[in-house]
Amino acid sequence: MKELREAILKQGFGIGHDIVKVDMFLNHRLDIALLTNIGQAFYEAFQDEPVDMILTIEASGIAAAITTAQAFGNLPVIFAKKSRTTSTLSSDVYEAKVYSFTHKSENFIRIAKNYLPKGSNVLIIDDFLANGEAAEGLAEIVRQAGAHVAGIGVCIEKGFQAGGQKLRNEGYRVVSLATVTGIENGRLQLADADDAD
């Protein structure tokens, strides 16, 4: 996606060999025009799939999930919570264990069972794909619910990590709007636009 690639090259940067910083526009400060275009791009990629709802994980996937839901005609958005809050989330939940590459910690993600009906076609949307742990955890929750993963859309894939290939090998349709292939002296290297998904 041209606009996303331009934002990554102009405002993104790398730390070390594996940290991609794009929080100026994607997941701390939000560029709403860009996120609207991201939602439209995911709609165009998955419009031929039956999609009943959008699923993401808190917190940085929520913005792209919302604009994608709007592009699909205002579908519901569900986001998995990373911590149990006794006052707002019952014990009647689907749950999966997820290791966070960014935070170097393991979390349980949870969704209340009544929010994810059996037989639903669920499009998973997230801001990043590194090792694929978040997407696999979300897909596991979809499986527990007796629902179907219609596809996995990610704004930025770290092509130098194994997650994207692992998910594709498992049979998931994965669409990445931009792929970072490496970091060189703090500069992010991108795959050619034709190679993005």
Would you state the pLDDT for residue 103? 67
What are the tens digits of pLDDT across the range 127-162?
Answer: 999 999 999 999 999 999 999 999 999 999 999 999
At 180, the pLDDT band (50, 70, 90 cuts) reads very high
For the chain, the domains span: 2-80+114-195
What are the tens digits of pLDDT across the range 117-129?
Answer: 999 999 999 999 9
Residue 29 has pLDDT above 60, yes or no: yes
Q: What is the mean pLDDT of the segment spanning 4-18?
A: 95
Residue 84 has pLDDT above 80, yes or no: no
Left, alpha or beta for 188 (phi > 0: left; psi -120 to 50: alpha)?
Answer: beta
The CA distance from 196 to 176, in Å, is 6
State the fold for domain 2-80+114-195.
Rossmann fold (3.40.50)
Q: What is the mean pLDDT of the segment spanning 101-107?
A: 73
The CA distance from 93 to 89, in Å, is 8
CB 174 within 8 A of CB 197: yes
